[in-house]
Structure 1
Amino acid sequence: MESNIKTGDFFSLQNSVESINESDYEKTGLIIEAARAFERSTYQCVYIIDYFKRGFLYVSGNIAKLCGGEAEKIKDFGYRFYIDYVPQEDLKMLIEINNKGFKLFNTIPIGERKDYTISYDFHIMRGKCKRLVNHKLTPLILTKDGRIWLAICTISLAAGNEPGNVIMKKPGAGTFYQYSLYDHKWEERKEIILTDNEREVLSLSTQGYTMNDIADNICKSVDTVKAYKRSIFQKMDVKNIAEALTYAQNHQLI
């Protein structure tokens, strides 16, 4: 079904970028080389958004493994990529996140804006199959008035099961913003603090260690490991280790 969403819908007037000239673009070569180097060192897909030209400055080659499209083709498509590869219901969510994200971003002091990252999950279509991916967007270059000219984005498989999970945060801030798709507003929340043992239990869980293995590794009893897990679940307000690992990944706790 043809989408009624257009590429221009992704570009909010709240981030209208002007007065970028060719001499500015001549300085982007090092940024692209850095993105290529990052691509070689990670499994994540990487691309750079150009909010002045309203397209992509760079798209990593490994994006083909995720969606089946060639990197150069996706680069030429620009934001048409989302319209072609994202289900309609998730597209509407992305537009909402984009608009509300920039509204919040513009309330942050200009000197701090480059420190923030917005993260969210959505589906990408590959043929008839849907894959839930996590998308993280971080500003690279701001204009003098604090608008985003270039932003770097990473895409990886999401750890959760549902689209959404929208978070904007600054590392080390102690608080973060979470967007509710039900109430359509941002809520500021305190970042949880894990003990060293709780963090170690989570780290070992990501490696597939059993409860007994974890107990042996940290020289604690199985009952103590169970207590650590209960504490983690309570702090995160989750029900199982899979949800805890998703939370930890999104909040960079491990």
Structure 2
Amino acid sequence: MTDVKDFFIASNTVRNAPDYDSKVLSTLIHTVEAFARVTYQSVYLIDYYKQEFLYVSDNPLFLCGHTAKEVKELGYSFYSKHVPEEEQKMLVELNSSGFKFFDTFDDVDKYQCSMSYHFHLNSGAKSKLINHQLTPILLTDEGKIWIGMCVVSLSSYKTVGHVEFHKKGLCNYWRYSFESHWWKECKGVLLKEEEIEVLRLSAAGLTMTEISDRMCRSLDTIKFYKRHAFEKLVVANITEAISRATLNKLF
């Protein structure tokens, strides 16, 4: 069983106490709370100096039967309790390699970066594969990630891992290999504007016929755009396509 201290190593530990301005942190928490309330996203904030959760939204997606307050109090021991042991080792490795990779960017660029990965959460006999997207919110004066925000969603994959590192504005991204323990730069997915529009309208709940009318294209043309988007994203259905497009920042 992974110990909580295993999640906090040199690459993601803040040594010097940051300025805990109560007004700044209160505004931050209220902002994220409003975002979670309006979007009904599952969100939490991590304090890497105090090594605890600063905020946990009450969306039940990743709470495993706990209240948001209970998960906040559990902190990283929540993962020791609800993540399969072999996958805990994966998360520990990501904490090390991911934060080292963050440190290769300058402070301004760090705010444009995010890391995405997939793992299981167990709640009793039930298990669900989820996705975490982690991004910095506040940095210390030394450029270390002080407060990070994580958005939790159901995974569009069928297996764990699939670790990706994205920087806003770049088409290419980096994928982490657990075999070589290294980040490899990969060519990003490029969708045509029409393909993106089909996915965007599908996400809004429109049928293919309605999308055809909205875009003033034939139904066969809409199906052509959809098929090509699926091929580029390597997915089998519209739910996976929307999720994968979101992860790749195509919307």
TM-score by length of 1: 0.88
Residue 177 of structure 2: which of 164, 180, 195 is its match? 180
What are the Cα deviations for residues 193-229 of structure 1, in whole angstroms up to 9, with x where unaligned?
3222111222233355554444343222233223323
Task: State the secondary structure of the residue aligned to 2:94.
Answer: helix
Equivalent position amino acid for 2:20 in 1: D
Structure 1 runs not aligned, ≥5 long: none
Shift of 1:164: 1.8
Look up the SS of the partner of 2:79 in the other structure: helix
Distance (whole Å) between structure 1 residues aligned to residue 154 and residue 173 of structure 2: 22
Q: Do residues 130 (structure 1) and 127 (structure 2) align?
A: yes
The one-letter code matched in structure 1 to 2:59 is N
Moved more, 141-150 or 231-240: 231-240
**Secondary structure of 1:205's partner?**
helix
Percent identical: 42
Letter in 1 for 2:74: F
- Post-superposition CA distance 1:215-244 (Å, at most 9, x none): 343222233223323432343344554543
Partner in structure 1 of residue 216 of structure 2: 219
Question: C-alpha offsets along residues 92-143 of structure 1, whole Å, 9 cap, x if unaligned?
Answer: 2211222110121111122211111111121111221011211111111111
Indicate the SS of the match to 1:47: strand
Partner of 2:47: 50
Q: Which runs of 5+ in 2 are unaligned?
A: none
Pair 1:15-2:7 in alignment: no
Following the alignment from structure 2 to structure 1, what is the Cα–Cα distance between the partners of residues 190 and 250? Answer: 9
Would the aligned equivalents of 1:117 and 1:137 in 2 still touch at CA under 8 Å? Answer: yes
- The 2-side partners of 1:206 and 1:70 are apart by 30
RMSD: 2.3
Aligned to 2:91: 94
Contact 1:64–1:71 (8 Å) recurs in 2: no
Distance 1:205 1:37, change over 3 A: closer
Is the counterpart of residue 39 in structure 1 residue 32 in structure 2? no
Q: CA distance change for structure 1 residues 181 and 238 in 2, over 3 Å: closer, same or farther?
A: farther
TM-score by length of 2: 0.88
SS at structure 2 position matched to 1:220 = coil
State the partner residue of 1:24.
20
Of residues 72, 76, 92 in structure 1, which corresponds to 2:73? 76
SS in 2 for 1:24: coil
**Distance across 2 between alignment mates of 1:246 and 1:46:** 17
Change beyond 3 A, Cα 1:240–1:155: closer
- Secondary structure of the residue aligned to 2:44 is strand
